[in-house]
Amino acid sequence: MHRNGIHHVTTIAGPARRNLDFHTRVLGLRLVKKTVNFDDPTTYHFYFGDGEGRPGTILTFFPWDNVAPGRLGIGETQETVFRVPEGSIGYWTHRFLEKGVAHDSPVKRFGETVLPFRDPDGMRLALAAVPGIGDEPAWDNGEIPAEHAVRGFHSVSLLLEKAAPTGAILTDVFGFTELAREGTVTRYKAEGTDVGGILDLREAGGFLPGRPGAGTVHHVAFRAADDAAQAAMVERLAQNHGIRTTEQKDRDYFRSVYFREPGGVLFEIATDEPGFAVDEPAGSLGQALKLPRFLERSRPEIEAVLPEVA
């Protein structure tokens, strides 16, 4: 079995309750973990995903009440795209109209129908219609019929001054191959990976650099099956590309290293192990506030400052 491609995408959001409502109720993702930003425990860290919280389905948010909007630009993630079954674009267009979700008309990209939309912070998301995935398991949020529900990530697109140096990292370190080109976009596919297996690199000279803030992506994480696979990637980065990563950090649900890729986007390499069921039952993921052990004794103070979201 192949275990490569996107692990998760982490983003910056405005108010927590609005973020939670949109991604669980409107988009129908499962909240698979409610924890805090380990580096700033006064802030939530929400993980949304499929029923089991599998790698390749995880969109995460740091919601801040008073964060300035970011600006899309060079060296940043442009859009995060989810997979939906081929016949579901009509359902979703209707749903976005009904729920007042900002969206564009469906477009064709690389032969697929794609419906771009934005979350309440203006972050660029999209749904791609993928044939033959209707039988894949889907999270039932009680409102969206399973036949139309989101099935994990389709792709992430990066806005870059030059695509080739980033492409070299994708192919040499993360097991992607160049698949096709359309206009200024080069599409890379992770060998054998259907969920979260595509990176689109868009070359756009002359843009201003991106500015972090609400509605922007903080980093994109790629999968490593385990510590040994991650260590091998770290070594390839150093030997073939002269890039040093951070020390490994224990994120409780995976173990991570970080580096800035040549185009300026923050990349992470996250292990598939141990996953989100490590500290609560799979059936009740996301219901209780989970804290890393080093913060557990501060739980009363942390709970007192976190905004009410239930």
Which residues of the shown chain bind Zn ion in the complex (CB under 5 A)?
10, 221, 268
Residue 72 Cα to chain centre, angstroms: 16
| Shorter beta-carbon distance to Zn ion: residue 114 or 125 | 125
Q: How far is the CB of 170 from Zn ion (least distance, A)?
A: 18
Nearest to 309 by CA among 288, 279, 293: 288
Q: How far is the CB of 37 from Zn ion (least distance, A)?
A: 11
| Shorter beta-carbon distance to Zn ion: residue 159 or 221 | 221
Q: How far is the CB of 6 from Zn ion (least distance, A)?
A: 11
Q: How far apart are CA 65 and CA 307, in angstroms?
A: 9
Tokens standing for residue 92: 């979703």
Q: How far is the CB of 27 from Zn ion (least distance, A)?
A: 20
Q: How far is the CB of 108 from Zn ion (least distance, A)?
A: 32
Q: Cis omega before residue 106 (within 30°)? A: no
| Shorter beta-carbon distance to Zn ion: residue 10 or 186 | 10
Give the DSSP letter string of 224-237: ESSHHHHHHHHHHH
Residue 31 has phi, psi (to 5 degrees) of -75, 110
| Shorter beta-carbon distance to Zn ion: residue 119 or 268 | 268
Q: How far apart are CA 7 and CA 9, in angstroms?
A: 7
DSSP 103: B
* Identity at 307, one-letter amino acid code: P
| Shorter beta-carbon distance to Zn ion: residue 58 or 114 | 58
Q: How far is the CB of 162 from Zn ion (least distance, A)?
A: 25
| Shorter beta-carbon distance to Zn ion: residue 59 or 128 | 59
Residue 92 Cα to chain centre, angstroms: 20
Is residue 77 a contact partner of residue 173, using CB atoms and an 8 Å limit? no
